[in-house]
Structure 1
Amino acid sequence: MCRTASNHLFLLMLFFCATNSSGGLFGQAFDHPLYELEERIMEGDKDALFEIALYFDSKKDFVEYVDFKEWTTKEATKAKRIVRENCQFLDSEIMINDSTSGKQFFDFLFENRQKIFFSKIATSFILTPLENRMVHYEIRELSPLKKKELQGQAGELLNLGWVKAARIDSMIVQKSPEALHLIAVQLFKHRRKSDNYSYPEMYIDLLQFLTDLEIGVKDNQGKFVWQVNEFFYDEPRFNLLVFFVKHHQQFAWNEQELRFINPQLSVRPLEKEEYLFQLLSNENDSLAMDAFIQLSSCPPQKVISAASEYFDFSMVKNDFIPIFPCAFITKTAELTAYCRDHGIDYEGSALLQKKITLLRTELPINERVKLESELIQSLKLEEITALEYWALVYESRWQLGKSTRRILNEFYLKNWQQILAQPKHLDLYLKKANLLYQLTYQGFYNDYRGRFSPLTAEESKALNNHSTQDMEVKAEIELLLGHKKH
């Protein structure tokens, strides 16, 4: 049948739907036709795909209820979302987005009607079989701590309802690598939020328990994802499924290591920074805090790379590390790297560390004020960075942050002329101003730029005459002089 015939058929179906749907083509009712079409598509009815194309151009409101709240969208938006959730077509085949018209989708279906099929493995309509697809992945070793944690959860993982329902437990007893494949199938099958088994953690944990591997696949932005929370989204789930469709038969049970191994895969060791980041979310305060302190002195680029895997709010499971750990640890690592390159002590003497530790505690007000005043008078320019460093590390200790703010305000007022006159100290101060302002949260780290406002003639002269090789310091000078917008 030619393209013209498909156009006529599309118009005929449009007319049929308009005259037979309750309330017209785009009539709104509690039992809206889109819900029925969604059910049929989920069951593998290819005809329903053709029918849902008729809603792709609708501008009529569509009301649905999510978490007991009423949400108003458009019928076209709902229809396209149904198709995206239940079809896994390659971008090179068709992209379903806001601009995709009903006719474009209908023509695609019409031209490929013999080749499009419903995959029971992917619980989706596809054109290119899963085994013929390209999947990008990285694999790294599981950390010793995670291995120990999973071993303690083994009984629970092997007795999960979906594990038994899919007979994955039997496959594991038989030491068949098909178990890995079936776990990935179940992960993608239960991808919808309304599903009782939608949370991805147990699926990923079971795969890691059986392989001692972390498998990173790409999301819809082309970024490798590793963390469990990233597998809430369809793209990583689907890519992990494709990985196991293509590779599960290469795995074999190893009696010595008591896990499935695949010698054909390239597995890299877990880098120090990656391991330390995993410890940050440990419920053990001491472990998490020690990891944070170690990370604060690691190479900044490695810290930034490791941090890119995480989202701040998903990490905080203890009361010691900063509430925004990714932001604080990356900026602190940049500051300590600068200090090492320029011979600046950021840890401080044992005596200074002892006083800073006291400021973290619940001191009587008179003792706190006395200790603050003592530090204001005794600290030298070479020592102030240590206070700032430990205050960043222990940002969650509000007592220390409050004291640090008062100490720094009075200390810098007292030593301002000396800072302006000495290039090394001015360069360091400007570096702090640039780095710490990027934190954007409320705290002592917001005050550095403000000390130049309003800019005096003496300050302007010092900034204009200051020579530096540091690009961030140069940017800070331009900003303070008004040559660059905030």
Structure 2
Amino acid sequence: MKNIIFLFILISGNFFGQNIAFRINDKIYELDQKIRKGDFTSFLEIGNYLESDDPLTEYLGYHIIHTNEANVAKRIISENSFFLQNEFKFDSTISVKKYREFLIKNQNKIAFSDLADAFLLTPFEDRKTDFQIQELTQTKLDFLESKRSEIFNSNWLKTNNIDNLINQKDSRVLLVLSSLFLKNRYRFNEHKNNNAEIINLIRLLTKSNIAVPDESGQMNYHIEEDFYEISKLNLVIFFANHYKNYKWNESKNSFENSQLKQVKNDIENDLFDSLSNEDDSIALNSFIKLTRSNPEKVIALAEQFDKDDIDFNYALPTFPYRFLKQLVYLTDYCKKNNIDFIGNTDLQNSINVLKTDLTFAERRKLENSLIYSLTLDEITAFEYWCLIYEKDWQLTYSAGRIIDKFYSKNWNKTISNKKHLESYLLKSKLFEDLGIIGLCHNYVIKFKGSSDDIIASLESLQTENDKVKLQIVKAIEFAKIQIIYKEPEKKDWYGNIDSKVKISKLISKK
């Protein structure tokens, strides 16, 4: 009985001890809630924890984070303030003394901004940011119009009086929307999911897309996708400086600012916006057109869309933006060097048949037919279309075998012709950079163990193409790898050495 009572006391003591510890640590979170409401005293008081090593456990979703009071205090201060770098340097050197001195010295200037729900020293209207105003593509505008009713009936819109501001044609609505977007910034273990609706409403109301710098300093054209807060902050700064000059245009049914220059869009911008179309054929046709468009524009937009992780139609290749960068380079090279990348009707028909559900015998027969009938002048078109339809597993399955066997069969012709050798080397680089597994990594490997004559051909190949130059070096490295066969010491079922099977060992030629 005594043991049971002792055990109960021990458990109770631990339980209440944990509760007491929790209540002590909970003081930080009480300060956080007061700070979010603009309580300067709490903002000053939380600085007392900046040098505290007392342990504290936090929960991020299902994750348990063991940290300390100093780290939590720093995070709360960071989440609730937007001081400029030259005003207060928030780094590892921050201390209780430095923090308190800064706040006390500037307490009459520091204000709690309702636009950001955060403390700041310099008002947003006194700050500057770079920006670019881009005309909406017709595809984007059509999409936004289709979402107009859904957005205008959103609960958040009515709750924040946005509907009344729009009805009054008050341009302050643009500043308020950017403010809501900034208030949606990520806070520890909190996330709001209406960022896209806010930015799309700004686009609808201005018939434009406003880009501002993100955390890397690059112009961000898809700020609704940006996890970090810098672009959100810069959008508020932009509207704090310019919203008053936006006037309602009845004919356009939107606000416009005649003092700001708007960049016109190219066909490439419209095609990129079409890549997310729910209609597979529209998205795929746009993708195909982009592979044959201006390479500089396509590559720049592909990098932008890839960085911002913009959604796309599933019918497109696995990594469409990465594929576009390589394919548009390939088609541009083909145009300049008179290489056919489209192919004839027979080739198109064969590719379409390979996409169907054939029997093994039917598929193997068609594969062999293409292996022996295709020429070096036609193979690029086959490769091009197989990459376009990379998501078609049936075609991709056959394409790997066809291309591998074709080049093995036509290897001597490939390496003895400058035009074919250069294009093969270029494709070896472009296909590697697609970032997928499979045959695309094996192009340059075919040079492995090549003769001295082939090495000489590679060394003498003259080209102005930097990608080809890189692959020449790589091909020579593979060519100097010699394959030597020797008898292995392999034991059979009974433990005897079996020397019937040969293995290869790779060594460098001297």
TM > 0.5: yes
Q: 1:315 to 1:281 in 2, by over 3 A?
A: farther
Out of 442, 445, 450, which is 2:437 matched to? 442
Matched, 1:478 2:469: no
Partner SS for 1:191: coil
2:56 corresponding residue in structure 1: 62
Matched, 1:367 2:358: no
| Count of aligned pairs between the two proteins | 459
1:112 corresponding residue in structure 2: 106
Out of 411, 421, 428, which is 2:423 matched to? 428
Matched, 1:176 2:190: no
Post-superposition offset of 1:394: 1.2
Post-superposition offset of 1:458: 3.2
* Contact kept? 2:211, 2:223, Cα under 8 Å: no
Q: 1:60 to 1:383 in 2, by over 3 A?
A: farther
How many Å separate the matches in 1 of 2:387 and 2:307? 16
1:199 corresponding residue in structure 2: 194
Post-superposition offset of 1:143: 1.6
The residue correspondences of 1:266-415 to structure 2 (distance < 5 A) are 266-311=261-306, 314-415=309-410
What code does the residue aligned with 2:136 have? Answer: L
2:482 corresponding residue in structure 1: none
* Contact kept? 1:433, 1:449, Cα under 8 Å: yes
Matched, 1:216 2:215: no
Give me the TM-score of the superposition, normalised by structure 1.
0.89
Post-superposition offset of 1:204: 0.7
What code does the residue aligned with 1:77 have? Answer: N
Q: 1:61 to 1:334 in 2, by over 3 A?
A: farther
Partner SS for 2:305: coil
Deviation by residue 1:98-138 (Cα, 9 ceiling, x = unmatched): 45344433333233222111111221111111110001111
Structure 1 residues without counterparts, runs of 5 or longer: 1-21
Matched, 1:164 2:158: yes
* Contact kept? 1:136, 1:217, Cα under 8 Å: yes
Out of 33, 43, 49, which is 1:39 matched to? 33
What code does the residue aligned with 1:86 have? Answer: N
Post-superposition offset of 1:32: 2.8
Q: 1:158 to 1:313 in 2, by over 3 A?
A: closer
How many Å separate the matches in 2 of 1:138 and 1:64? 40
Partner SS for 2:293: coil
Structure 2 residues without counterparts, runs of 5 or longer: 1-15, 479-510
* Contact kept? 1:312, 1:323, Cα under 8 Å: no
* Contact kept? 1:372, 1:407, Cα under 8 Å: yes
Q: 1:202 to 1:458 in 2, by over 3 A?
A: same
Q: 1:103 to 1:436 in 2, by over 3 A?
A: farther
Partner SS for 1:153: helix
% identity of equivalent residues: 36
* Contact kept? 2:226, 2:308, Cα under 8 Å: no
Partner SS for 1:32: helix
Matched, 1:151 2:145: yes
Q: How well do the aligned residues superpose, as a CA RMSD in angstroms?
A: 2.3
1:135 corresponding residue in structure 2: 129
How many Å separate the matches in 2 of 1:126 and 1:209? 30
* Contact kept? 1:199, 1:232, Cα under 8 Å: no
How many Å separate the matches in 2 of 1:135 and 1:433? 43
* Contact kept? 2:444, 2:474, Cα under 8 Å: no
How many Å separate the matches in 2 of 1:30 and 1:381? 76
Out of 458, 463, 480, which is 1:463 matched to? 458
Deviation by residue 1:303-324 (Cα, 9 ceiling, x = unmatched): 1211122237944543310121
What code does the residue aligned with 1:372 have? Answer: E
Post-superposition offset of 1:198: 4.2
Post-superposition offset of 1:416: 0.8
What code does the residue aligned with 2:42 have? Answer: A
* Contact kept? 1:59, 1:74, Cα under 8 Å: yes
How many Å separate the matches in 2 of 1:132 and 1:442? 52
Q: 1:394 to 1:102 in 2, by over 3 A?
A: farther
Matched, 1:235 2:230: yes
How many Å separate the matches in 1 of 2:336 and 2:68? 57
How many Å separate the matches in 2 of 1:277 and 1:413? 37
How many Å separate the matches in 2 of 1:246 and 1:315? 29
